[in-house]
Amino acid sequence: MASELSVRCQQNYNKEPSLLYDGFSRCQKNPYHPSDNPTGIINLGTSENLICDDLIIPKLESLTEITPPELRYFPLNGMWEFRVELARFLTEKTQSDQVIEPEDISVTNGCSSAFSSLAYMIGDRGDHFLINTPYYGMTSVYMGNYMGLQPIEVDTDSENMVCVGLLAEAWDKARAEGKKVCGVVLINPNNPTGAVYSKERVLQVLEFAAERNLHVIIDEIYFLSTFEEGTFQSCLSYSQEWPDPPRTHFMWGFSKDFSMSGSRCAVIHSKNRDLHRAFCKDISFYHNVPGILQMKLCRMLRDEDWVEGYLRESRVRLQRHAGLVMSTLDSLGVSYFKPTGALYLWADFSPVFRNSPSMEEASQIFDKMIDSGIYIPYSKGFNGNNPIYFRIIYSIP
């Protein structure tokens, strides 16, 4: 019984499950299959790239070599060979303006663990972080459940973009209420809207944070899945312009860009060596990636021709699938924010509402859809304020 558990555990146990977790769980229990389970739930809500299995699986199957070091204990922040290869890979793919050093990289078991680890290292229990809404709803879970950091949600501007003026208002209000703010979280491209923040926007956020001694966590987990040329620029491509490098932290993982969401491997890049030492000494033991997987991914990245071909084909497929969804929505009179990358689009379902849009009716629409076999989460799952928006995943067969 839950009452036999710790108070801390009971508090989390008794929380209402997030919309995304609940929807995913229902899909897992009754997954659609065209022949084995045609009445199951079609999952258009979980952000996974399922259209490149024919590319990634044969490659991983071909990497069969296992060496003794992979079966032993290894540096807790990642095997050295792997971090060297990750440093080369990220330097190239982000078009970094300086060579990334393997000492500035720590490896962890997924971006959820990266968020939790960074939360542990940048703030204390009860501290707050600023984040633009709507945002991937599980972020606050990763930062809060056992690290205790609480979100302060900040609206975007009329262009659906992060706005320093609104961040400043939220900062001032929090300070007036006696809340300690330790950092800012920026997801670029944004999840769920797909908005891509320009270099100028990101630098404005970094300047805002530097003036207040705030850490900034920049999540670029979808940066290699942007398919319109010139729309995205990684923050690492202008890292020499960061106003406060020791408090600026980048994260990325294999989940989305390499169609490996279940493999749980991500990267924290930071020029703050103390942060990496703290990670290694305090918490990395709980967030290890198996040595066999690290070296399999290391060998995969070394095949630069294959990696380039895979990423090129992945972008082509994502753009084609996005086009299929957009043309269907156009035929239904449903508007949306046109995606330039990532695995999803943010659609305006207002034509479906019978009354003045409300979260109550959005919940009813959501329930009717999932009861009818289609899972598409609405803005509540992303801590959004406007009930008309639903996020549709297009990276499925």
State whether 218 and 249 are in the same domain.
yes
Q: State the Cα–Cα distance between residues 257 and 55, nearest whole angstrom.
A: 12
State whether 45 and 176 are in the same domain.
no
Secondary structure of 174-243 as H, E, C letters: HHHCCCCEEEEEEECCCCCCCCCCCHHHHHHHHHHHHHCCCEEEEECCCHHHECCCCCCCCHHHHHHHCC
State whether 76 and 117 are in the same domain.
yes
Domain end marker among 269, 287, 302 = 302
pTM: 0.94
Q: State pLDDT tens for residues 23-74.
A: 999 999 999 999 999 999 999 999 999 999 999 999 999 999 999 999 999 9
Instruction: Tell me the CB-side half-sphere exposure of residue 301, using CA atoms within 13 A.
Output: 22
In a domain, 35, yes or no: yes
Angle of helix 53-62 versus helix 304-332 axis, rounded to 10: 160
Confidence of residue 161 (pLDDT cuts 50, 70, 90): confident
Q: What is the pLDDT of residue 2?
A: 64
Confidence of residue 7 (pLDDT cuts 50, 70, 90): confident
Give the rounded percent of residues in the chain with a pLDDT score beyond 70: 99
In a domain, 279, yes or no: yes
Instruction: Kindly give, in sequence order, each residue whose CB lies less than 8 Å from that of residue 33, ignoring residues fewer than 6 positions away.
Output: 40
State whether 239 and 350 are in the same domain.
no
State whether 277 and 314 are in the same domain.
no
Domain end marker among 242, 268, 302 = 302
In a domain, 346, yes or no: yes
Q: What is the mean pLDDT of residues 117-129?
A: 94
Q: What is the pLDDT of residue 147?
A: 81
In a domain, 61, yes or no: no
Q: Specify the number of domains making up the chain.
A: 2
Burial class (CB within 10 angstroms; exposed 0-12, middle 13-18, buried 19+) of 71: exposed
Q: State pLDDT tens for residues 290-345.
A: 999 999 999 999 999 999 999 999 999 999 999 999 999 999 999 999 999 999 99
Taking residue 357's Cβ as centre, other Cβ atoms within 10 Å add up to: 18
Cα distance between the two ends of the chain: 41
The chain-wide mean pLDDT, for the chain, equals: 94
Q: What is the mean pLDDT of residues 187-209?
A: 96
Q: For residue 18, is pLDDT > 90?
A: no
How far are the Cα atoms of 45, 91, 144, 220 from residue 319, in angstroms, in the given order? 18, 25, 35, 19
- Residue 221 in tokens: 């987990």
Enumerate the β-bridge partners of residue 130. 152, 184
In a domain, 5, yes or no: no
CATH number at residue 374: 3.90.1150.10
Q: What is the mean pLDDT of residues 183-189?
A: 96
Q: State the Cα–Cα distance between residues 311 and 323, nearest whole angstrom.
A: 18
Q: State the Cα–Cα distance between residues 359 and 347, nearest whole angstrom.
A: 15
State whether 172 and 216 are in the same domain.
yes
Enumerate the β-bridge partners of residue 31. 41
Q: What is the pLDDT of residue 8?
A: 75
State whether 377 and 340 are in the same domain.
yes
Helices (H), the chain: 7-13, 19-29, 53-62, 80-93, 111-122, 138-144, 164-176, 199-211, 273-278, 291-302, 304-332, 359-371
State whether 297 and 317 are in the same domain.
no
In a domain, 7, yes or no: no
In a domain, 10, yes or no: no
Q: What is the mean pLDDT of residues 1-17?
A: 74
State whether 264 and 192 are in the same domain.
yes
Q: What is the pLDDT of residue 1?
A: 55
Domain end marker among 248, 272, 302 = 302
- Domain that includes residue 89, residue range: 67-302
State whether 272 and 145 are in the same domain.
yes
CATH number at residue 230: 3.40.640.10
Q: For residue 81, is pLDDT > 70?
A: yes
In a domain, 8, yes or no: no
- Residue 238 in tokens: 């202008």
Q: For residue 158, is pLDDT > 60?
A: yes
Q: State the Cα–Cα distance between residues 337 and 348, nearest whole angstrom.
A: 8
Q: What is the mean pLDDT of residues 102-126?
A: 95
Q: What is the pLDDT of residue 324?
A: 97
State whether 119 and 258 are in the same domain.
yes
Confidence of residue 117 (pLDDT cuts 50, 70, 90): very high
State whether 139 and 32 are in the same domain.
no
Q: State pLDDT tens for residues 210-269.
A: 999 999 999 999 999 999 888 899 999 999 999 999 999 999 999 999 999 999 999 999
